Structure 1
Amino acid sequence: MPGRLPTAEDFPPNITASIVPAPSNHPPTNILVLLHGLGDTNASFTSLGRQLNLPETACISLQAPKPLPFGLGGSLWGDEIIFDEKTGEIDLDSGCRDSTRMVLDHIIRNILIEKCGYKPRNIMLFGLGQGGMVGLNVAVEMGMEELAGVVSIGGPLPSHAALAPIDKKFKTPVILCKGNKDSKVSPADVQRIKDTFAATEIQEWKKTGDGMPTNREEMLPIMQLFARRLLSMRGIPEGSVEFS
């Protein structure tokens, strides 16, 4: 039996979340948790959830818990704010223990599993940059409990993430997408993910940086993961996202 759709009343007042129901009022067999990038809010990924329009899949777009300083607007998933001395930009890898606990304990365990009746296998995470790092770290903290999957766009494992047991990698399948130029994801980051998860797919896009997919070719591997791992009587269409 599918779980029930979460409601605003399920969430504590200190967590900002938007809920996008499954299309056509179908029971939500799956939950896709959306984690925006550093300096953004959950509004953009709420729109993404509507655009994806995945059958029997409700989307929860979460907002990072800490606001950017200096009135810049937006928020971040990091435990602290660390500036890169070379670029002056905020360092993605500034710890995400607090955000991991928020997503894992409050959202996945307390709300989705205990209150709404979902199993970990019915829950997938999709994150951009620092949000992707949180998604991967949540999968690590789940240990041998298998999620539907994690999609990380330009977000490596945080440096503080626990290592997989020597004789057994974590079961949650992962797809990491990155640009082939000026990526924040190093070859060492890629190897660390491969060493941590049993099923890892690396998509290197022919573009500069690690931004969101902008065409069908870039989006196709992600939609194929949705089709393989999200449970649906109707099936997940691999080419359902429109790009302008």
Structure 2
Amino acid sequence: MTLDFSVVTDAWQALLFGTFGTLFLAVAGMILAMIIGVLGVAILRAQRPVPSFIVNAFVEIIRNTPFLVQIYFVFFALPMAGIRLNPTTTAIVALGLNGGAYAIEIIRGGVESIPKGQTEAGLALGLHKRDVFRLIILKPAIRAIYPSLCSQFILLTLTTAICTSISAYELTSVGQRVEAETFRSFEVYFTLTGIYLVISLITMWFLAAIGRRAFNYPVR
């Protein structure tokens, strides 16, 4: 077999835009996931039976079903209820819902690690429950679970490859297009593997730098 990576270099611009598409889906999906995660934990802490049941059911359904089925449901089933989304929006919603379920569990674990005495102290100082949750509970909890959230973000970034199943514009869909035009499967998918690896390593470095800056408090 003769290798010919010229088909990849000729398509470098398309692959670059596909990489940006992957990063856009990952960042947008993670932002939505964090919003869902924080809201879900806040609902669970309110200890109201019906909303708590809905959140717990959502977490169990998402965590125990394949992402491919979830994205197909959003893309193909929701139009039957009158909700039609384009592939990019569908991908972001599906990624956000999937990541949100895991974020709820991660954030809940961090919140539950905060001693109850800190909450009682905040209430004793006259702080509103919302401020106690935001300032005294949530920020230290996020500091404790930051590595887990980073791992989840990287996993979500790699999961964007499945979004090619609904023709969302991202790296794998671009790679499939190049492969279909050139029939050079090894060269194309070898290159995609390398690009995803670089994305993951750069993302790990970037998130670690943010963590050092945001959560490493100076010792006095």
Same fold, TM exceeding 0.5?
A: no
Larger Rg: 2
Question: Larger relative contact order (C-alpha < 8 A, sep ≥ 6)?
Answer: 2
Greater share of residues in helix: 2
Greater share of residues in strand: 1
**TM-score, scaled relative to structure 1:** 0.27
